[in-house]
Amino acid sequence: MKPELKLWRPFSPPIGQIKMPESLIDSLNQYTEEVTNDKMLNHKLDYGSELVGQVSKEIGITTEFLKKGLLEYFGFAVKNYINAYDGKSIKEFKLLKSWIVRQYKTEYNPIHWHGGHISGVAYLKLPDSFGESFQKNKKNNRNGKIVFSHGSRQFMSKSIIEFEPVVGDLYIFPNYLMHTVYPFYTEGERRSVSFNSVIDNAVFDE
């Protein structure tokens, strides 16, 4: 049974949410450990200089690995996302790049956007908790969360939406949608995989 895609529309650009298969999560985590433990490969696939994250390590994903099911799944997820949005069926899906982010205590991703047309982020590994807020107010605790932002706050119109990371959750969004990841204050790793892609120009350029 294929997972159902949920569509979030807190503002105009929609955000898709779908579950990744456990087999892909396991293979991505294994890939991460293998690259990390191989000094030459670790250096070769270091992707930190290409990205904005203030994090310890960002690892590029090879074409060889992508062909082991990940490329196909990302295409499946994006096609479902576009179809859920306006009923259109895309004919083209081209992955531009994909990478893994390893985030640790006090590290963060500043507010930014991506290239291509459609982007995504999925969670592979998380610490037991992200720590308490300084004011001990759990309602406002954004530690470790991903936050999407668009436009300005108005009556009946939010400008931000935030999500608590859950292993296996994949979020899909248009490349221009601004987003950030807050730091957290506990030990452990917040590990995610991201991608940028392009689809049919006729569908993207409305």
CB 143 within 8 A of CB 163: no
Q: Which residues contact 2 (CB under 8 A, 6 or more apart)?
A: none
pLDDT tens digit string along 86-112? 898 999 999 999 999 999 999 999 999
**Structure confidence at residue 122 (pLDDT):** 98
Q: Give domain limits for the chain.
A: 6-199
Q: What is the pTM of this model?
A: 0.92
Read off the pLDDT of residues 152-191 as tens digits, 9 standing for 90 and up: 888 877 889 999 999 999 999 999 999 999 999 999 999 9
**CATH ID of 6-199, from 2.40.110.20, 3.30.1600.10, 3.40.50.10140, 2.60.120.620:** 2.60.120.620
